[in-house]
Amino acid sequence: MKRTRTSKGWMREHVNDPYVLLAQKEGYRSRAAYKLMELDERDHLLVAGMAVVDLGAAPGGWTQVLAKRIGKTGTLIAFDILPMDAVHGATVIQGDFREDAALDQLSTALAGKPLDLVVSDMAPNISGIGVADQARSMHLAELALEFSIQHLKPGGNFLVKIFQGDGFDDFVRDARAVFLQVHVRKPKASRDRSTEVYLIGKGMRNSAQ
């Protein structure tokens, strides 16, 4: 009974959420699009013509924003293990970004262009067991950071969703070892009760790779 009430409460909140309504009105696939817009407007992450990888991209809300802001001269690769509808201006790769087959597709899509930015809005399927969910979310963030270290050009930037809790401070410390600047932001579109924040790493150090 409690789970049913909670589910009903979440659905009521979701359908009345102003960012959900705005996303429906403006044609974005998720309310998360507004988080990325706010982060970009504050930290100036996106520039026309840059090369960007979007990890865990489905359903594509961030991919839509990225495609618009880097423009026709940009290169955008969206990864997800789940199927995702095409986004104009993006190459969508269904696969695990740790596996060789997906990385071969990434290399082909980049065509030798250096990678300027990696973004990740990945989150695990929530089990309701706090310790386990936190561990899984931090693992995804660590995978995104590892991918960035391996593929970003020196001076490149990184944006990743993380959750405050166990492992948070260690992750921020690890990011500071890789990037010249590290900032933690909570966009207005993030729900107040959520421990979700976004870490921005700017200027990957030459020695990181």
Catalytic residue among 35, 161, 186, 202: 161
Place of tokens 């095409």: 86
Active site residue 35: no
Distance CA 176, CA 184 (A): 11
Query: What is Dmax (Cα atoms) for the chain?
Result: 56
Distance CA 128, CA 75 (A): 37
Distance CA 197, CA 7 (A): 23
- Any idea which residues carry the catalytic annotation? 161
